[in-house]
Amino acid sequence: MAIEEQRPTRVILEQAGAWNRWGTRLAWTVAGLSLLWALGSAAAFSQYFQKDGRVLETHHSLSRAAPDKVAIVTVAGAIMGGDGFARAQLDHVADDPAVKAVVLRVDSPGGTVSGSDEIHNRLSKLLVDRDLPVVVSMGGLAASGGYYVAMANGGRDDVIFAEPATLTGSIGVIIPHFDVSAALEKLSVRDDSIASGPLKQMLSPTRDRSPEVAEEERKILQSLVDGMFARFKAIVKGGRPKLDDAAIDKVATGRIFTAEQAKEAGLVDRIGFLEDAIARAVELAGLDDKTARVVKYTKPKALLDEVLGGQSPGAGVSLAILAELATPRAWYLCSWWPALVRSE
């Protein structure tokens, strides 16, 4: 009787074990298939994922599903250096094989010579390495260093667009210098700095110079400006190959041009808006409205930015900018006064 009572128990246990074995196999099979599907999906749609934490890519216009991209790269505000957001955007484009053309959106008064030159060099190298067409779209202001970076277009025809209200030009170099030594003398304040040589304090606003030293300083600084100015004109020649030396000399006086004046002088190709520049980039890339996805880049916002309403603690005049003002520096800038606020 005891044996008979144990038999159903044994059968029940064996049935449960079989079910567990098959259930476990089924679970592992589903998990494996799910993993394979996830990996396949990740490979197929990898171009839609964010890979660079410095930039946030968003859809701007045309097809949302097209695999080929036209990237809007923005250079806005004062150009203080080539290691900021502009560089992050260019690095992002360089690492994205789906980008087939670039629209360079310039809204800048220019900035430092070194910063403008670095952005121009990076964009020019990207254009050659990837064989990418670059179309320029000028915003409200694309002057001096802003025009300098716009010359990284490969010298193509019909690729520089200025909006009707754009101001551009200001081709030239400036090294700001302010002399307050006479005012300090009235206050009985004297610059008694100790330097290794008489030229170590070039451009010091507080130093009282002898006429001989002042003349020597000016000659040295003028030679530096002349050299950088010659490079600026050579960059313009590379971006506007149809302009001869005489035509470049005529516009390279530091003056500002309206869009119509710039077009007449050969500094821009067309009067048009961002959408017109995008259409030209799509055309040069061999795409159309259905096969091109236009994307733009923005800075990811940190939690503190959200709390402060988008204003980070470093906004405005910073100690770094004050140090910039105290440093002898040449500028491709549409102003007689160095920029006080960093570019976004």
Indicate which residues carry an active-site annotation: 144, 200
266 sits in the region (left: phi over 0; alpha: psi -120 to 50; else beta) called: left
Q: Can you give the three-state secondary structure of the chain, one letter per residue?
A: CHHHHHHHHHHHHHHHHHHHHHHHHHHHHHHHHHHHHHHHHHHHCHHHCCCCCCCEEEEEEECCCCCEEEEEEEEECCECCCCCHHHHHHHHHHCCCCEEEEEEEEEECEEEHHHHHHHHHHHHHHHHHHCCCEEEEEEEEEECHHHHHHCCCCCCCCCEEECCCCEEECCCCECCCCCCHHHHHHCCCCCCCCCCCCCCCCCCCCCCCCHHHHHHHHHHHHHHHHHHHHHHHHHHHHHCCCCCHHHHHHHCCCCEEEHHHHHHHCCCCEECCHHHHHHHHHHHCCCCCCCEEEEEEECCCCHHHHHCCCCCCCCCCCHHHHHHHCCCCCEEECCCCCCCCCCC
One-letter amino acid for residue 68 of the chain: D
Fold exhibited by the domain 51-173+214-302+310-333: 2-enoyl-CoA Hydratase; Chain A, domain 1 (3.90.226)
Percent of the chain beyond pLDDT 90? 58
For 248, list phi and psi in degrees, rounded to 5: -65, -45
Percent of the chain scoring above 70 in pLDDT: 73
CA–CA gap between residue 225 and residue 230 (Å, rounded): 9
At residue 186 the predicted structure's pLDDT band, cuts being 50, 70 and 90, is confident
> What are the domain boundaries of the chain?
51-173+214-302+310-333
The two beta strands, 256-258 and 56-62, are unpaired
- Mean pLDDT for 244-258 is 96
Q: pTM of the predicted model, to two decimals?
A: 0.78
Higher pLDDT residue, 76 or 23?
76
Q: How many CB atoms are located within 10 Å of the residue 321 CB?
A: 17
pLDDT at 39: 54
C-beta separation of 79 from 110 below 8 A: yes
pLDDT at residue 62 greater than cutoff 50:
yes
What pLDDT was estimated at residue 237? Answer: 97
pLDDT, greater one: 106 or 8: 106
Which residues are bridge partners to 332 per DSSP? 111
How do residues 81-114 score in pLDDT, each as one tens digit? 756 899 999 999 999 999 999 999 999 999 999 9
pLDDT in tens, 128-171: 999 999 999 999 999 999 999 999 999 999 999 999 999 999 99
- pLDDT reading at 322 higher than 80: no
**Residue labelled with tokens 């220019």:** 110
Q: Identify which of 104, 175, 176, 106 has the alpha carbon closest to the alpha carbon of residue 145.
A: 106
- pLDDT class for 191, splitting at 50, 70, 90? confident
Q: What is the pLDDT of residues 200-239, one digit of tens each?
A: 888 888 888 889 999 999 999 999 999 999 999 999 999 9
* Token pair 């002042």 in the structure block, residue: 214
pLDDT at 198: 83
How far apart are alpha carbons 99 and 129 in whole angstroms?
A: 13
What does pLDDT average to over the chain?
83
Closest CA to 269 of 144, 193, 162, 186: 162
